[in-house]
Structure 1
Amino acid sequence: MMAVFDILQYGAIGDGKTNDSQAIQRAINDCATAGGGRVLLPAGRTYCSGLLVLKSNMDFYVENGARLIASGNKEDYPPSKYRNSTTGTMSNGLESPHALICAVGENDITISGGGTIDGNAEAFMDVVTPYHISGIIFPRPTLIFLGNCKRVTITQITLQNSSSWVLHPGGCEDILISGIRILCNLKMANSDGIDLDHCHNVRISNCYIECADDCIVLKNTKILEEFGPCENIVITGCTMVSTSGAFKIGTETVSDFRNILVDSCIIYNSNRGLGIQLRDQGNVENVRFTNIIIETRRFYERWWGKAEPIYVTALDRNEDQKAGSIKNVYFSNITCKGENGVYICGQADNPIEEIVLDNVRVEIDKWTKWEGGIYDKRPCIDEGLEHRDNAGVYCAHAKDVTLRNVKVVWGQDLPDYYGAALEAENVTELNLENFKGKAAIAGKQDILIQ
């Protein structure tokens, strides 16, 4: 029978105001000393806390009806110490990147229980505009950071109101995230849902994610480079809403990404749908997107992205940092409806290779007030915003591109900045198999190949 360590027995008050950090941490430490068990946050109370450090062999159990809320005092979150000055290693040096919950170098951790973990984002806000939150106070704590951990399960929990990234596993292996809700303010910049950073063997399933920044993002940051590629990732059965991008690989791409599957998901009321943004020396290969419904729309100008349902770009971040390669990316059985089309863009000296769109329907209409006729390439060396006609499918600087059973459909009475069903520029080995679509505006070319 699992040993239970009830935080009320350690002096936690649970009135939502008193800082219960010390009581909760004592329960965590005793659980670890005993060899593992369950740290229980009982239902019916709200527990206020600063940094909590989890240990191995532990189920951090926030009971259904209980809430853990982040303290609004920034002094309750120790400053980052990413690396030990002597060894240079992350696992010995990282304490917390300003996080509410943190674990480093630990194994067999579960966070569950049906309750709520609340980031108290309002405490870290300054000025709120109708479309965007500005004047944000820094540093803002991540809700959960897990560094160099193995065998992690996060299930049946609500993570909400984060002031920064919600869930950030860095250099972790064998992660299961299932049946969770992530609910963040849709105006709060940088409130990413799940950031997989140099992680291996990850399964994410049956989650609902609503946040202002990327819902699920795979990245390889420079500071965790020692942990190698992001690989063997399966995402299935998720519903996502984002003011930025629903699913993204990038832009931090110092290491490789490979063997990634996104299946049976719904994306709606989002700025961008499925994206790959390669900007550093890492390579992206063997990626599959299948059985997905996407709805995208324009948002306030300060948000990056222009309602692209699918966007794949490989662009140099700056003159000193050349982008790696993208190849073997497959999109199948996808239905898109939005205010922009598919956007694929490499570079003349670094074309994107082996891209397939198979059974993809792209419907484009206009219903928000924000200006169109723009592609957003940021971050990149050149001008980040490219003003040109928006095509149903736009592809530039690519090789071996197949559009099979792709259909482009336009709405009625569209602005003049909508153009061809297909525009291809500097694309070699372009294969069109049953491609259907006409130009949005009478008199413009249906298919434009340059």
Structure 2
Amino acid sequence: MTYNVLEFGAKGDGAANDAKAIQKAIDTCSLAGGGRVVLPGGHIYNSGSILLKSNVEFHLEMGAVLKASDHLEDYYPLANGGKIVAHESGLPSFLNSEYNGRPFHAFLYGYDQENVAITGFGTIDANETIFYGSNSGYHIEGTYYPRIPLMLLEKFRHLTIRDVKLMNCAFWTVHLVGCNDVLIEGIRLINNLQMANSDGIDPDHCTNVRIIGCHIECGDDAIVLKNSGDYNQYGPCENIVISNCTLISTSAAIKIGTEGECSFRNILVENCTISRSNRGISLQIRDGGDVENAVFSNITIETRRFSHEWWGRAEPICITVHDRKPGVKAGKVRNVHFQNITCKGENGIFLRGSEDQYIEDVSFENIHLTLEKTSRWDIEGYDIRPCQGDGEIRTKISGIYGDYARDIRLKHVKIRVEDSMRPFYKEDVTLLNTENIEL
């Protein structure tokens, strides 16, 4: 069965709040046993929060735009009674990393549903401008934190998101929590590259996830696996495939962490192109969860530094293991492999464990790295934020920097240094800096 939202009272004029009509169509469809809820093309549907339900395909036709409301009171309250509060730390969000994963509100939301799909060549616009705070020219700070995700779907089974365009989100765009059997294919996700915390796709405590053939541009991590503290009942993030994606990010294009209170296991990333990014691949372990059994292969990476406000110093591959704060012991990184990767950018590969938590069993095979200066920003060494202290390691860079790591294997690794990088390059050592590293 097909359920047309216009027949349920939606105006589609870009002014009226169509949330009640859209919700009525979804509820009717689900109660009838399932079908397709259609937003016809040629209309802008202004809307507050929408609850997705079992056995419903939410379909946006070509030319249909679902736009998030300008008014916070139109959004479904989740935490804190829906009351908005400022940063409790008083810090900007690029420094404040204390977040349990649960926002105050959500735009598209659902809990404990199955057989749900979001499809079509229409657009979902999360209306980021209503969250603008200060603007440095390189970084837009939001008016509060955490802001409203475009999508928060918790405990979904058999979820498909295909073909839609998602845009203008001021926070985590696709936040999936405790979901099993997820297919995200062919979506276009376009956020403002200056907007803080506007992650692309965030599988959080999820299993059996496939992210295939997507294009993502965002002002934070493009695809990031997480295990946030408020959802530990769902266990590890595992059995993840990311393939054939094109990614642009002002933080890390592909990241594991920072929130990592459970383990990450069995991860395959392949056939992706990363460009114009502040970091390429980042394993950022700050909590108790381990990372193990991960393979990154057939990837091209192009990095440049965006500004001092974003974490990272243009590292194409970065693995760091540090305690976030006293009393919280970081997990381990082991059995991770990088193969057939071409990197070009303003920094080298960076591995830094801790004195009591070594990175171990990591291999690099068929790696081609070119160091070339392309941005206006100085290359100041390395960045291990978030951590205790300022997190900066001020030194000239190396092709590969390793500290507190063991069983690191290199095979067919070639590093070329262009003249533009010579002032920043540590020429008094070989291409591998082996301080506190056991090969």
Higher relative contact order (CA 8 A, sep 6+): 2
Alignment of 1:403-422 (within 5 A): 403-419=410-426, 420=429, 421-422=431-432
For residue 242 of structure 1, the aligned residue among 226, 230, 249 is 249
Matched residue SS, 2:397: coil
Q: Deviations over 1:146-205 (max 9, x none)?
A: 100100000010001111111000000000000000000110011100001000000010
Going from structure 1 to structure 2, the CA distance change for 1:181 and 1:383 (only over 3 Å counts) comes to: same
1:26 is paired with a residue whose SS is helix
SS of aligned partner of 2:257: strand
- Decide whether the 8 Å contact of 1:340 with 1:364 is kept in 2: yes
| C-alpha spacing 1:413/1:116, structure 2 compared with 1 (3 Å) | closer
| Distance of 1:327 and 1:353 partners within structure 2 | 5
Unaligned runs of at least 5 residues, structure 2: 82-100
The two structures, once aligned, show a CA RMSD in angstroms of 1.6
The amino acid across from 1:19 in the alignment is N
Mapping for residues 173-192 of structure 1, pairs under 5 Å:
173-192=180-199
2:66 to 62, 65, 68: 68
8 Å contact from structure 1 (residues 97, 142) kept in 2: no
CA distance in 1, matches of 2:189, 2:243: 16
**2:23 aligned with 1:13:** no
In 2, Cα distance between equivalents of 1:288 and 1:345: 19
Q: Partners of 1:136 and 1:370 in 2: how far apart?
A: 27
Contact 2:103 2:148 in 1 (8 A): no
Distance 2:161 2:391 in 1: 37
Partners in 2 of 1:82 and 1:206 — Cα distance? 37
Query: Structure 1 residues 399 and 184, CA, compared in 2 at 3 Å: closer, same or farther?
Result: same
What does the per-residue CA deviation read over 1:216-240, in whole Å, with 9 as the maximum and x for residues that have no partner? 0001001000000000000000000
Are 1:214 and 2:221 counterparts? yes
Separation of aligned partners in 1, 2:41 and 2:290: 46
Moved more, 412-421 or 115-124: 412-421
The structural deviation recorded for 1:125 is: 1.3
CA drift of 1:269 comes to 0.3
State the one-letter code of the partner of 1:33.
Answer: L
- Equivalent position of 1:278 in the other structure: 285
The residue number in structure 1 matching 2:92 is none
Equivalent residue letter for 1:358: E
1:228 is matched by which residue type in structure 2?
G
Does the Cα contact within 8 Å between 2:119 and 2:163 map onto a contact in 1? Answer: yes
2:345 to 338, 343, 348: 338
**1:359 aligned onto 2:366:** yes
Alignment of 1:221-232 (within 5 A): 221-232=228-239
Letter of the structure 2 residue corresponding to residue 425 of structure 1: E
Residue 140 (structure 1) aligned to one of 144, 147, 151: 147
Q: Secondary structure of the residue that 1:389 maps to in structure 2?
A: coil
Gaps (5+ residues) in structure 1?
84-93, 431-450
CA shift in 2, pair 1:46/1:299, >3 Å: same
Are 1:125 and 2:132 an aligned pair? yes
Counterpart AA for 2:150: L
Computing the radius of gyration from Cα coordinates, the structure with the larger value is 1
Summarize the Cα distance change of 1:59–1:96 in structure 2 as closer, same or farther, 3 Å threshold: farther
Q: Within 1, Cα distance between the matches of 2:15 and 2:102?
A: 25
Structure 1 residues 67-216: aligned runs within 5 Å: 67-81=65-79, 97-134=104-141, 136-137=143-144, 140-216=147-223
Q: Provide the residue aligned with 2:87 in structure 1.
A: none
Are 1:353 and 1:399, in contact at CA under 8 Å, matched by a contact in 2? yes
Tell me the equivalent position of 2:48.
50
Partner of 1:22: 20
Deviation digits for residues 35-61 of structure 1, max 9, x if unmatched?
111111000000000110011001000
Question: What amino acid maps onto 1:52 in structure 2?
Answer: I
Q: Using the TM superposition, give the Cα deviation of residue 81 of structure 1 relative to its aligned residue in structure 2, in angstroms.
A: 3.5
Match of 1:424?
Answer: 434
Aligned residue in 2 for 1:437:
none
Distance in 1 between residues matched to 2:12 and 2:102, nearest whole Å: 26
Aligned residues: 417
For 1:101 and 1:382, locate their aligned partners in 2 and report how far apart those are by CA, in whole Å.
Answer: 38
Structure 1 CA distance for aligned equivalents of residues 27 and 132 of structure 2: 33
- The alpha-carbon deviation at position 132 of structure 1 amounts to 1.3
Q: Give the corresponding residue for 1:86.
A: none
User: What is the identity, as a one-letter code, of the residue corresponding to 1:426?
Assistant: N
**Is the contact made by 1:253 and 1:282 (CA closer than 8 Å) also made in structure 2?**
yes
Q: Distance in 2 between matches of 1:404 and 1:122?
A: 48
Q: CA deviation at 1:414?
A: 3.0
Instruction: Kindly indicate whether residue 34 of structure 2 is the aligned counterpart of residue 36 of structure 1.
Output: yes
Q: 3-state DSSP class of the match of 1:425?
A: coil
Contact preservation (8 Å) 1:95, 1:104:
no
Question: How many angstroms apart in 1 are the aligned matches of 2:103 and 2:387?
Answer: 31
Q: Amino acid of the residue matched to residue 218 of structure 1?
A: L
TM-score normalised per structure 1 = 0.90
CA distance in 1 between partners of 2:406 and 2:314 (Å) = 25
- The structural deviation recorded for 1:95 is 11
- 1:378-393 residue pairs with structure 2 within 5 A? 378-393=385-400
Question: Contact 1:98–1:139 at 8 Å: present in 2 too?
Answer: no
Alpha-carbon distance between aligned partners in 1 of 2:332 and 2:371, rounded to the nearest angstrom: 29
1:248 aligns to what SS in structure 2? Answer: strand
One-letter code aligned to 2:204: D
Residue 433 of structure 1: aligned partner: none
- Tell me the amino acid that sits aligned with residue 287 of structure 1: A
* Displacement after TM superposition at 1:135 (Å): 5.1
Q: In 2, Cα distance between the equivalents of 1:251 and 1:287?
A: 17
**What secondary structure is seen at the aligned counterpart in 2 of 1:122?**
helix
Matched residue SS, 2:28:
helix
Query: Are the counterparts in 1 of residues 142 and 195 from structure 2 also a CA contact under 8 Å?
Result: no
1:251 and 2:258 aligned = yes
SS in 2 for 1:31: helix
> 5 Å matches for 1:283-298?
283-298=290-305
SS in 2 for 1:268: strand
- The counterpart of 1:395, out of the listed 387, 402, 409, is 402
Report sequence identity in percent: 47
TM score, norm. by length of structure 2 = 0.93
